[in-house]
Each structure stands twice: as structure tokens, then as C-alpha cells.
Structure 1
Amino acid sequence: MFDWDLLDILLPALAAGVLVLSTHVLLGRQVLRRGIIFIDLAIAQVAALGAIAAHMHPTLEHAPFSGVWMPALFALAGAGLIAWLSKRMGDELEAMIGCLYVLAAVAAMLLLANDPHGAELLKQLMSGQILWVSFEQLWLPALVSVAVLLLIGLRPTVLDGAGFYLIFALVITLSVELVGVYLVFSTLILPALAVNKFAAKSALGWAYLVGLAGYLSGLLLSALFDLPSGAVIVATLAASALIFRLVSRAARANVAA
């Protein structure tokens, strides 16, 4: 039987998921078009490294909003590096992005090697703690999401040039803080991948529905069965994307027949 008291936890978490989906579905489709699948994972890991660097520095740790601007600086630097590499090493870009991810991950492990709370912080940054998000934490991500969506709506071509990397870095920074690295990657790629072969004009809308179904079912399952929320939502996003791919393929086959 569902415990209605869980709504106090689930509603802010769902709101966080909707905010992440609002921008990540659009950016994820752009990532697939560019063929740079691991850029989201790499930038998210670099942003997490920025959060760890702020945590490790005694002055920065207590500086106002250091958990936001430090990851943002790192993410912007990482995005700038990838933008630079895209113009000079285009044929090896995906490999370079993979190297950036590995180096950022190793740097994070080394920084936290002697921290007694390092393992917990690393787990939080990777898997996230979406169930413990509060509405108070969402005002800044909401403002940024609205601004990004308005910009893309008014100037769709902004995603075609270097501006994509700037927008990507800012959005990823705030998302990592809310949902963790693994869920950021999954939210970007899985809904976009679900509709990648879907040629209808409504593909974007279906991608949002795939993502929303994944978040809703994942949050409910994690709350009901006391399972790690980030891991469960990744699994339900994958299941939602797979189901849509199979159903849409079967529908196309029936129409063709």
C-alpha cells in the first residue's frame, strides 16, 4: 500500500527530474547528432571534480555558493577544451573526450584518497541523492533551465556552434548537483536514443514522455522498496527507452505491412 506521506519526498524529487529533463532531452539529441556520446559523462565528471576541489580547500569549502561556481568553472574549462579539440582533432575527438573523463575520475579519487568522508562524497556525486532534494534547491536550476530553453527557442542555431559547449557546461553543472553523474548521462542519452530512429515530428515530445515515465517509475520503485534512487531511475529510464524503441518499431512494421 502506498504511503501518501512519501509525497513530501517524491514531489521535490520529481520536480528536479522534470527540470533536468527539460534541457537534457534537447541537448542529448544534439549530442547524438554530433557523435560525441561521452561528452556528457566527461563534463559531468569534470564538474564533480570541481565540487571535490571546493570541498578539499578549507577556504573555498565555506565560501558562498562554492558548490555551484567551482563546478561551473571546471565544467566551463572542460567544455572549452573539448570545443578547442573539436576544431583540431575532430577525427579523434571521442577518444580525447574519453581520456578527459578518465583523467577527471582518477583526479577525483586521488584528491579524496585521504579524506575520511571521501567515499561518501564520491558516491553522492556519482549516484546523486535526488530523493533528498528540496524545493528550495530548485530555484536556481529552474531559472537557468527557463533561460536556456528561451535562448534555444529564440535562436535554435545557438546549438550548432561553440555556444553549445557553453550551454552544455552550465546545464550539466547544476544537474550533477541535483541528480549525480550517472543520472545526468542517462537523462541526456536514453530519451534521445529512444527516439533516434523515430522520424515523426512528434519525436521530441515522445522523448520527453520516455524520460518522464522513467523518472516517475524509478522514484516510485525506489521509495516503495527502499532502493538507491539514482540507480533505479537509470534502470527505469533504460527500460522506458527500450520499450519505446520496440513498440515504435513494431508500429512501423505494421504500417509498412
Structure 2
Amino acid sequence: MFDINLISILLPALAAGVLVLSTHVLLGQQVLKRGIIFIDLAIAQVAALGAIVAHLNHDIEHLPFSNVWMPALFALAGAGFIAWLSKCMADELEAIIGCFYVLAAVAAMLMLSNDPHGAEMLKQLMSGQILWVNWSQLILPAIVSFIILSVIYLKPKLLDGSGFYILFAIVITLSVELVGVYLVFSTLILPALAVNKFGSKYRLVAAYSVGLMGYIFGLILSATLDLPSGAAIVATLAVSAILFRFVLAIKPKQKTATSVVNS
């Protein structure tokens, strides 16, 4: 049964989800358009690698905001590398990005193999801890998300050029910190995939709705049944996307049947 006292925990978690959705839905459609599906996993994993380096190096770990700027540096370097690859190896880009992700994941495992808290940190970076996010953690992501969305609104053509990779790296860095690698990937791809065949002018609204429903029901499911929050939201995002595609698929059939009856 749902405990009303959990609302104080769920509200900041839902706010974190809304912040992630605000930028990821837009960028996810661009990822799908470019056909570089693994880029989000790769950049998210590289950002996580930056967090691991900061954690293992005590000199860096004690510097102010090292948990933000260190992953950001790694993510920007990774995004720059992929942007360069997109120009000189476009026909093999998706395969190379996939390899890039695997290498970054393996590097993270090797670096944490002798750390007593390595397994827990790796789990947190992958699955995230969205259910335990507090309001103070959302201030920086909220500011950055507002700036990114404003830039996209004022200069939408940035998404079509190399500027996309820079925006992408910045957004992914903050998102990994909030929700983890798996949820970053799911938030980017599943809403975009759900509305991929939706030709309406309300396509963006539909994508945000799919994502929001996934986060709401995932958080409720996680809090009610004491399930891992990241995994629960990934599952409900997938269900939300599948249901939307199913409804979208049966609508044309209904119209066809109506037309036959009328004729």
C-alpha cells in the first residue's frame, strides 16, 4: 500500500525526472534522427568514468565540485572524439561508438576492481539513486537545463551541427549524477522511439507525456514495492512507450474500418 509519507521523498525525485526529461526528450529525437543510438550510453559511461577518476584520486576528490567538473571534462572529451569520428568515419560511426562504450565500461570495472566500495559506486553510477535526490541537488541541473533549453529555442540549428555534441555532453554529465547511466539512455531513447511514427504537430507533447508517465508510475512502483528506483522507472518507461506505439498502431485500422462502413 502507498504510504502518504513517501510524498516528501517522491517529489524531489519526480522533479529530478522532469529536469532530465526537459532536455533529454529533445536530444533523444536528434539522436534517433542521426542514427547514433549508442552515443548516450557512451557519453554517459565516459562521464561516469570521470566520476570514478575523481573518486580514486584523493587530491582531485577534495577539490570543490570535482563530482561535477571532472565527469564534465571526460564527457566533453568523449563528445569531441565522437564529433571528429562523425566527420571522418561516418559509415562506421555507430559501431565505433558501441565499442567506445564497452571500453569505457571495462575501464570503469578495472579501475574499481580493488576499491572496497567499488561495486557499490559502480551500481550507483549505472542504476542511479533518484529516489534519494534532495532539492539542493537540483539547483545546478535546473539552471543548466534552463540555459540549454533557451539556447536550443533561440538557435535550433545548433542541434544539426557539431554544437549538438557539446550540448549533449553537458546534459549527460548532470543527468548521470542524478539518475544513472541506464535511466539516461532510457529517457533519451524510449520517448523518442514511442513518437517516432507519430506525424502530429503534438509529437513533442506526446513524447514528454510518455516520459512523464514512465517516471510517475516508476517512482510509485519503486516506493510502494521497495524496488530499485532506476530499474523500476526504466521498466515503466518501456511500458509507457510500448502502450503509446500500440495505440498509435490501432488508430489507422479503426479509421480504415470506419471508411469501409461509410462507403
TM-score range, shorter-chain basis?
Answer: over 0.9
Q: Which residue is equivalent to 1:91? A: 91
How far apart, in 1, do the equivalents of 2:2 and 2:180 lie?
27
Q: Which residue is equivalent to 2:28? A: 28
Kindly report the root-mean-square deviation, in angstroms, between the aligned alpha carbons of the 2 structures. 0.6
Q: Which residue is equivalent to 1:65? A: 65
Shift in Å, 1:254: 1.4
| Pairing 1:210-229 to 2, within 5 Å after superposition | 210-229=210-229
Q: Which residue is equivalent to 2:45? A: 45
Structure 2 residue matching 1:21: 3-state secondary structure: helix
CA-to-aligned-CA distance 1:15-55 (integer Å, 9 cap, x gap):
00000000000000000000000000000000000000000
Structure 2 residue matching 1:116: 3-state secondary structure: coil
1:121 aligns with 2:129: no
8 A contact 2:55–2:61 mirrored in 1: yes
Q: Which residue is equivalent to 1:182? A: 182
How far apart, in 1, do the equivalents of 2:60 and 2:136 lie?
22
Shift in Å, 1:248: 1.2
Percent identity (aligned): 74
How far apart, in 1, do the equivalents of 2:106 and 2:56 lie?
15
| Pairing 1:206-245 to 2, within 5 Å after superposition | 206-245=206-245
Give aligned pairs, total: 257
Shift in Å, 1:62: 1.1
How far apart, in 2, do the equivalents of 1:253 and 1:134 lie?
46
How far apart, in 2, do the equivalents of 1:252 and 1:9 lie?
42
Shift in Å, 1:256: 3.4
Shift in Å, 1:157: 0.3
Aligned residue identity for 1:198: F
Shift in Å, 1:253: 2.1
Unaligned runs of 5+ in 2: 258-263
How far apart, in 2, do the equivalents of 1:68 and 1:20 lie?
16
Max radius of gyration: which structure?
Answer: 2
How far apart, in 2, do the equivalents of 1:10 and 1:21 lie?
16
Structure 1 residue matching 2:161: 3-state secondary structure: coil
Shift in Å, 1:3: 1.2
Aligned residue identity for 2:220: L
Structure 1 residue matching 2:64: 3-state secondary structure: coil
How far apart, in 1, do the equivalents of 2:253 and 2:56 lie?
56
Shift in Å, 1:98: 0.6
Shift in Å, 1:4: 1.1
8 A contact 2:2–2:223 mirrored in 1: no
Q: Which residue is equivalent to 1:202? A: 202
Q: Which residue is equivalent to 2:110? A: 110
Aligned residue identity for 2:148: V
Q: Which residue is equivalent to 2:171? A: 171
Q: Which residue is equivalent to 2:79? A: 79
Please, what TM-score do these two structures have when normalized by structure 2?
Answer: 0.97
8 A contact 2:83–2:162 mirrored in 1: yes
Shift in Å, 1:252: 2.3
Shift in Å, 1:251: 1.2
1:153 aligns with 2:124: no
Shift in Å, 1:249: 1.2
CA-to-aligned-CA distance 1:226-257 (integer Å, 9 cap, x gap):
00000000000000000000001111221233
Q: Which residue is equivalent to 2:141? A: 141
How far apart, in 2, do the equivalents of 1:73 and 1:253 lie?
50
Shift in Å, 1:2: 2.3
Aligned residue identity for 1:236: T
Moved >6 Å (runs of 4+): none
